Structure 1
Amino acid sequence: MSYLRFEKALMTNLEESVPRELLRTNRSGAYSCSTIVDCNTRKYHGLLVVPVPELDDENHVLLSSLDPTVIQHGAEFNLGLHKYQGNNYSPKGHKYIREFDCDKVPTTLYRVGGVVLKKEVVFQHYEDRILIRYTLVDAHSATTLRFRPFLAFRSVRQFTHENSVASREYTEVTNGIKTRMYAGYPELYMQFSKKVEFVFQPDWYRGVEYPKEQERGYASNEDLYVPGYFEMDIKKGESIVFSASTSACKTTGLKKLFQDEVDERSPRDNFFHCLVNAAHQFHNRTKKDERYILAGYPWFKCRARDTFIALPGLTLSIEEEDYFELVMETAMRGLYEFMAGKPLTAKIYEIDQPDVLLWCVWAVQQYAKHAGREKCNRKYGKLLYDILHYIIDNRHPNLKLCENGLLYSEGKDKAVTWMNSTAGGRPVVPRTGYIVEFNALWYNALKFCASMAADYGDATEAADFERYATLCGKSFVETFVNEYGYLFDYVEPKDNPDWSVRPNMIFAVALDYSPLTPAQQKAVLDVCTRELLTPKGLRSLSPKSGGYNPMYVGPQTQRDYAYHQGTAWPWLGGFYMEACLKIYKRTRLSFIERQMVGYEDEMTSHCLGTIPELFDGNPPFHGRGAISFAINVAEILRTLELLEKYKY
């Protein structure tokens, strides 16, 4: 049986099928996303969603959906599915679904009387083109297919409504049409692999409702424009291919193009292969051939911190060292522009956050383990030393090296760590002063760069880094270790330390170089195990701490207050499991393998084959937030790699 396969009973039960989402990307910023029954439940859903840089920095839904209709003996059977106000679903095409399989490409099998129709979908790599192949597997009489395109032409953050400005004009092209609802947008080409009749029958479908937006406390209704429909006859055993794109295609080559794209796909036939597939979806190659890592789908862009945290897991852990180097080439340009105070030409957001440089050093450290220290020094040695001297010279606008060897950041008025939710313009968790993971990363960076300098650089440089590391390590223990065996999350020298039990202390154990003694490391790990560990990662706050709010539900403000106040994060679980292996080694292998089961369960729920942004901190640990999140996928892949190393 296929790994990602669902039978009729689940597909026709909307309570089970509608919450399951499906994401396909082209690795250049565009994507296709909906539910497994093709019922859009978010404003971010669409069959063809593309960036339109001429308009703004957002993605735009051009083609929302395509409804196929089977016609036999004059009877019409619409296979589409939309949700309207009042919990009404129409036209209820899901009842014809017999099975759904997503191992290689999403494949839906419909049965309408004696008609069996198969639908397969691929997104062409590096092109803004969605391809759908329809095959008439069986039919006992003449069969006609009709297709209605639902158009939106809007930003993923907005809605479209019936209006008189939308253009109804269209132009016939080879086996299809091209149209554009509003000026400034690209033309949408809708073409088929065989001759088709287009019937112009413009109409607005009003009151389409998106329940996921309702859950999040947003507006949730829009109107979609249908310019008409395409119609063609199809014979038993025949396949036709539909293309929707921002550019015209040679329709005679559509069948071959579809098959070529299918042949390139790797099966998602197990947990690991699903994660590898998900890792590739975060790849982003621009027209300038720059390479980035997108932080997540469907609404995140390339963020600096996420890039460096995710990069080792998404590339090195699956033997894709070359893509690590391509992303680093773009990222290095951005880092040097930032350190020189120049305008950024690299499209990397939040590069000024104070821990970004520290995470960059950590990412390079992982590269050294895979590619070898000599190659690492040759490619990134200068970058490492430049970063450390930039910090030591106190040139960062919000990262001050104090006399005690610790790094200080101001975070009262603006969120500066990964715990970045805000309410009323101020951080919900105002982490400020000496921040625990910043200084754990700083100590690790100093020790790593000292060892690299000793081996390939300058003995004097190595001695200087070691001196800073010794001072930092001593102050770290004095500042963060408390009498209860865990670490303060942050310490503001003028105020009391923060006593909340949070997961950020795990980095002081998991990183290669730790300022803590083995006994202190074990104590920290034990507290994380008792108070923070869930089957979906570490909680962002202990249930015993004040303000625990583990359910990420409700309107935006309510979710902002819960975002880092008890929700569970898989990427933190990755560092927790690395710390476990570091301290207990092979004796914890079976324990960590059991933890992996909690993530494998997600392959068939939420968004198929990937890991969402976060989970509720209490049972049943529902997945929440973005449907696919880079650092979560990355850290699970890195954990699987660590497991293999400890096994053999």
Structure 2
Amino acid sequence: MTRIERPFDITRFEDEWLEADGFGGFASGTVGTLRTRRYHALLLTATHAPGGRVVLVNGVEAWLEADGARYPLTMQRYVPDVLYPDLAANMLAFDTQPWPTWRLQFDSQTLITAEVFVSKATRETVLRWRCKCTSAASPTRALTLKVRPLLSGRDYHALHHENAAFNFSAQTSDDASRTSWQPYGDLPRIHVATNGVYTHAPDWYRNFCYVRERERGLDFSEDLATPGVFGFNLAEGEAVMILSASDAIGANASATRHAAELADIERQRRSALGTRLQRSADAYVVARNEGRTILAGFPWFTDWGRDTFIAMRGLLIASGRLDEAEAILLEWSGTLSEGMLPNRFPDSGDTPEYNAVDASLWFIVAVHDYLATQHASAETRVHLQHAAEAILAGYTRGTRFNIKASSEDGLLSAGVPGVQLTWMDAKVGDRVVTPRIGKPVEVQALWINALRIAARWNPQWQSAAGCALQAFHERFVEPSTQTLFDNIDVDHVKGATDRSVRPNQIFAVGGLPFPLLEGAAARAVVDQVEAQLLTPLGLRTLAPSDPAYRGHYGGAPSERDGAYHQGTVWPWLLGPFVEAWLRVHGDAADTGQQARQQARTRFLDPLYAHLDCAGLDHISELADGDAPHAPAGTPFQAWSLGELLRIETLLAGLNRTVA
């Protein structure tokens, strides 16, 4: 868990928390309660899981009225950069376990505890406030909590502005415990259950400033509507507000009792998940159709093929969540087309995009890890094996974007101008930043691994695997360093090579079931990657000595995309690196335990420290290539956390998969 206490470092106010609902929706915000992103919200729901996400309740303006004084419980930032009110002096502590919880001290008599969580059982967001008064407080002291919900009703990528179409009308139940609004007719109705009293008082709050959006070179100001105010008497007990996009909200129970029941269920569910990392991992596993999938990251990613199959190895398989792993593999296997699995599903609609050479191969690796657990039924095993062989057959024949096994050397060739097929997929306008057309090194490692995996149940693939492996050894070694080229037959020109020092070569030694290199050859790769690419938060995507290196990830979209794979650090790559490092340094029985301990201290401890900043209890998508390696990208990234879990399991000697 992450716990922050006074003396409160104001820089921690913008660290972020996440509460996911298991269907693509979520609540998120910051330690300081102010919203810094367009995605920060209390009720953000997926209209067709996990896509079609819309923001309904962005936040609240909350304050306490006592003895004629007004004490703020939330903080806002307005354009150009005005913080009001300021909670810094009143914040005592913030904790992420069992869910985001704040403690605020005002006068000498009053301590307020506020908390928020999302119930996975019902997709409701629960907010609760309690007051603990000292013995010196008067028993008749009036303590009134006021809460103004701040609403929009927009796509989660968009921003909202004052307009005449917003419908402020409220519907209230006969007992006044339920209130609802429908700002726009094509969006879900917003339902609120409370133990407070609602007063209709429509207004607009204007010019909220989202600094993370401004840093990203995007529009960053928003207007929000507030239809009214809820009042609660904290002297009589806790205040409860439950938000939902469903009219089934606490149908037959008081808000107080319903919130308590949801809290008990959610506390038990989280406790059963196990470790801190496993509790965080649960956020990414969501529904798709009748099956399951993995969101690549919060707040803005949907489910991507390669991300899903890479992340699930740690999030699910290494963690023993095998039923969910099976459901995801079966769900995705149904999308097979021309030997390919989708690169991603869009935010809206269900038409997938088939533009990745590696996603299908990562699927076969995930199938290998899953089947090695012996969890699958005979029927499921056969189904997944057939899916894997359909991919290999499609790639052997040839499929979209010139993806085809070469008849000359058996290696996998891929690529057409203007399309990014590998995981280094940034594009600025019509320019692919790292096109890598030809035979990229990690694609060969995946291809050969996929062939060897399938050969374990069907020997017909053994010959192709052997041929490709021999060609790999003959063609990928860079003579002057004995390391590996990043790409050969560049732009489909035979013999053309890319000598860029990138992390992709590490997959020839670690990160996959079958290493392609051993001994001195493996050591050369690991040593080069360690010397030129390793940082505390992961591997750089390009060596700093390269003229194309970009050490900072930031600015407008074109600047960020231009740096995405040109030096920017990716934490997920630490997983294959640590595995490769262990294969080089820890093979011998007398050094294995010592190497594992050294690896944990050197490589994992910085990631564990990172759990307490940026996206709390999670690992960021990116970091700057230059020191101090500031985190960037999404603060909650599935494969970053998944690879940490996978390597932690490996170091603990509990690896559930067998090569």
- Would you say same fold, with TM above 0.5? yes
Aligned to 1:590: 597
- 1:644 shift after superposition: 0.9
SS in structure 2 of the partner of residue 439 of structure 1: helix
Residue deviations 1:542-597 (CA, integer Å, cap 9, x gap): 11222110210111111111110111111111001111222222152133112101
Alignment partners' CA distance in 2, 1:425 and 1:356: 23
Match of 1:393 among 390, 394, 397: 397
Match of 1:28 among 16, 23, 29: 23
**Would the aligned equivalents of 1:412 and 1:431 in 2 still touch at CA under 8 Å?**
no
Residue deviations 1:589-634 (CA, integer Å, cap 9, x gap): 1331121011011111001000010111121111100111111111
Aligned to 1:526: 527
SS in structure 2 of the partner of residue 318 of structure 1: coil
Aligned to 1:604: 612
Letter aligned with residue 233 of structure 1: N
Distance 1:66 1:646, change over 3 A: closer
1:115 aligns with 2:110: yes
Match of 2:285 among 273, 283, 286: 283
Q: Give matches, 1:344-493, under 5 Å.
A: 347=350, 349-371=352-374, 377-378=381-382, 380-403=384-407, 404-453=409-458, 462=459, 464-483=460-479, 484-491=481-488, 492=490, 493=492
**Would the aligned equivalents of 2:338 and 2:394 in 1 still touch at CA under 8 Å?**
no
Letter aligned with residue 222 of structure 1: E
Aligned to 1:294: 295
Alignment partners' CA distance in 1, 2:99 and 2:336: 38
**Would the aligned equivalents of 1:310 and 1:634 in 2 still touch at CA under 8 Å?**
yes
SS in structure 2 of the partner of residue 473 of structure 1: helix
- 1:371 shift after superposition: 2.7
Aligned to 1:169: 169
Match of 1:59 among 42, 53, 63: 53
Alignment partners' CA distance in 2, 1:367 and 1:539: 30
**Would the aligned equivalents of 1:474 and 1:515 in 2 still touch at CA under 8 Å?**
no
For normalisation by structure 2, the TM-score amounts to 0.90
Letter aligned with residue 104 of structure 1: P
Letter aligned with residue 469 of structure 1: A
**Would the aligned equivalents of 2:17 and 2:96 in 1 still touch at CA under 8 Å?**
no
Residue deviations 1:56-115 (CA, integer Å, cap 9, x gap): 954221111122221123322221210012321112244322211222121111222222
SS in structure 2 of the partner of residue 365 of structure 1: helix
Alignment partners' CA distance in 2, 1:536 and 1:340: 30
SS in structure 2 of the partner of residue 335 of structure 1: coil
**Would the aligned equivalents of 1:337 and 1:344 in 2 still touch at CA under 8 Å?**
no
Deviates more, 1:313-322 or 1:388-397: 388-397
Match of 2:126 among 104, 125, 131: 131
Distance 1:100 1:646, change over 3 A: closer
- 1:440 shift after superposition: 1.0
Aligned to 1:106: 100
**Would the aligned equivalents of 1:338 and 1:351 in 2 still touch at CA under 8 Å?**
no
Alignment partners' CA distance in 2, 1:389 and 1:488: 27
Aligned to 2:589: none
Q: Give matches, 1:545-584, under 5 Å.
A: 545-584=546-585
The percentage of counterpart residues that share the same residue type is 29
Letter aligned with residue 242 of structure 1: M
Alignment partners' CA distance in 2, 1:597 and 1:278: 17
SS in structure 2 of the partner of residue 557 of structure 1: helix
Aligned to 1:459: none
Aligned to 1:457: none
Distance 1:171 1:601, change over 3 A: same
Deviates more, 1:386-395 or 1:208-217: 386-395
SS in structure 1 of the partner of residue 152 of structure 2: strand
Distance 1:19 1:259, change over 3 A: closer
Distance 1:256 1:374, change over 3 A: closer
- 1:534 shift after superposition: 1.1
Distance 1:188 1:487, change over 3 A: same
**Would the aligned equivalents of 2:160 and 2:224 in 1 still touch at CA under 8 Å?**
yes
SS in structure 1 of the partner of residue 422 of structure 2: coil
Letter aligned with residue 531 of structure 1: Q
CA RMSD of aligned residues (A): 2.6
Aligned to 2:144: 144
Aligned to 2:3: 5
Letter aligned with residue 73 of structure 2: L
Letter aligned with residue 45 of structure 1: H
Letter aligned with residue 74 of structure 1: G
- 1:410 shift after superposition: 1.1
Alignment partners' CA distance in 2, 1:308 and 1:624: 23
For normalisation by structure 1, the TM-score amounts to 0.91
SS in structure 1 of the partner of residue 330 of structure 2: helix
Match of 1:258 among 234, 259, 262: 262
Alignment partners' CA distance in 2, 1:43 and 1:551: 23
**Would the aligned equivalents of 2:483 and 2:525 in 1 still touch at CA under 8 Å?**
yes
- 1:277 shift after superposition: 1.7
Alignment partners' CA distance in 1, 2:573 and 2:181: 47
SS in structure 2 of the partner of residue 278 of structure 1: helix
1:240 aligns with 2:236: no
Distance 1:374 1:591, change over 3 A: farther
Deviates more, 1:391-400 or 1:593-602: 391-400
- 1:378 shift after superposition: 4.3
**Would the aligned equivalents of 1:80 and 1:94 in 2 still touch at CA under 8 Å?**
no
Aligned to 1:230: 230
Letter aligned with residue 486 of structure 1: T
Aligned to 1:458: none
**Would the aligned equivalents of 1:538 and 1:570 in 2 still touch at CA under 8 Å?**
yes
- 1:337 shift after superposition: 8.0
SS in structure 1 of the partner of residue 356 of structure 2: coil
Letter aligned with residue 566 of structure 2: Q
1:638 aligns with 2:640: no
Alignment partners' CA distance in 1, 2:5 and 2:28: 21
Aligned to 2:153: 153
**Would the aligned equivalents of 1:400 and 1:409 in 2 still touch at CA under 8 Å?**
yes
Alignment partners' CA distance in 2, 1:373 and 1:84: 54
- 1:51 shift after superposition: 1.9
1:92 aligns with 2:89: no
**Would the aligned equivalents of 1:304 and 1:348 in 2 still touch at CA under 8 Å?**
no
SS in structure 2 of the partner of residue 635 of structure 1: helix
Alignment partners' CA distance in 2, 1:442 and 1:362: 10
Tell me how many residue pairs correspond in the alignment: 626
Distance 1:614 1:59, change over 3 A: same
Distance 1:426 1:130, change over 3 A: same
Alignment partners' CA distance in 1, 2:130 and 2:345: 49
Query: Any unmatched runs of 5+ in structure 1?
Result: 454-461
